[in-house]
Structures are given as C-alpha cells and as structure tokens.
Amino acid sequence: MDREDQRRYLVVGSVILEVVTPLFQQKIENDCITGGFGSLQAFINSPQVIHTLFHLRHRNSWCCKDKAKCRNHAALPLVYCQWKKLYSENPGPGIHNCHCKFTANPVQLNEMDISLSSLILLNCCNISQPEEEAVQLLRQYKNDYLSHNTTGCITQTEYNTLWTDLVTYVLRLDPSKHDDLVRIENRPLDVSLCKNISHSCLIFTSR
C-alpha cells in the first residue's frame, strides 16, 4: 500500500471531518439563531422542519395537517437511525403515518455527521444557491472518495482535481478556513487517524 496514497486519504478525510462537518453544523446553528429558535431541538420540532424531514423518511404518508405540502419522494435519503436520532414517537393513540405522532429529541449539533447535517441544510435551512451547490458537492465528495473507499487510499490523479474542488467549495462557505486547509494539506501520515477516518466515513452513505 503506497504511503502517499494513504496520506492523501488522510488529508481528504480530515477536511471532511474537521472542517466540512463542523462548518455544516455551524450553518445550521446560524439558521436556528436567525429563525429565533432557542435550541436545535426547538428548530427540528418546528412544524415546517418536522414535516419536511418526515417526508424524507416516510413514503405514501399524508399528514393530518398541511396535506397540500406533503411530498412523496421517490428516494428516502433520511435513514432509520438518523430519524430515530432526531425524533421519538409519542405514546398513545393517534393518526399513524403523520408527523404529529413524533416529537424532537434533545439532539446536539455535534451529534450530526455530514450526511445528516447536509440533509437538514439542504432541505430545512435558508442558504443561497451557491452555498447549496457547495453543500451538495462536498457531501458527494465524501461519498465518492471516502464512504465507498475500502482501501484507505486516494491516488495522485484523483487527488489533483479533488483537492482543488475541496478548497473551492469550503472557502465558498467560509473564506476563513484557508489556514485550516493549508495545515491539513501538509499533515504527515498517521495510520491510526486513517483508521478512525475510515470508521467514521464508512458508517453512512448519504444519498
């Protein structure tokens, strides 16, 4: 196994976990503050957000409120464990297959990985079209180069174009991250850290 290929994997994984994921989390927090929500729990428990996320997990469901806004998505990008992290079903009788059956859990921002945070950003937050493009592409790069990467390596050919794109879209979201990117790009190989990155990035594949 080529050590430089491993180091490039380390660099890309470090950017995703140490820069991109916290950046997505910060964007969500900013949206909560701007919207006047006192906590993340209050934000994801708001009618519009819970309704939106409900339909990203449940198919062929028509809610007892806002039926005109119900959506029947072909794909369900919010996976079971993510939904259960966010919401608990209310005990007692009630209409099934409706978002009113659920209440938000006291989840913290640092519990949200890039998959979950990107879904919330793209579907529930107010971001500009250029920011939306950056979020979508950064999430896609995580999938393309980390989530399905069982070798723990990235070749020079892949890295040459990937690094330029990572820098472009991270700085589009937050220009102050330039020094962090330079620091990570020069990081020496750490096999233990590579294993931690591999474990974290293979857990979920966002769609």
pTM above 0.85, yes or no: yes
What was the pLDDT predicted at 6? 95
Torsion of CA 189, 138, 201, 124, to 10 degrees: 150
With beta carbons less than 8 A apart as the criterion, state whether 39 and 48 touch.
no
Percentage of residues in the chain having pLDDT higher than 90 = 73
What was the pLDDT predicted at 145? 94
Under the banding of pLDDT at 50, 70 and 90, the label for residue 96 is low
SS3 88: strand
CA distance 62 to 128: 29
What was the pLDDT predicted at 194? 85
Query: How many of the other CB atoms lie within 10 Å of CB of 65?
Result: 13
What is the pLDDT averaged over residues 67-77? 82
Under the banding of pLDDT at 50, 70 and 90, the label for residue 60 is confident
What is the pLDDT averaged over residues 148-157? 92
What was the pLDDT predicted at 196? 87
Residue 82 has pLDDT above 80, yes or no: yes
What was the pLDDT predicted at 207? 43
For all residues of the chain together, what is the average pLDDT?
90
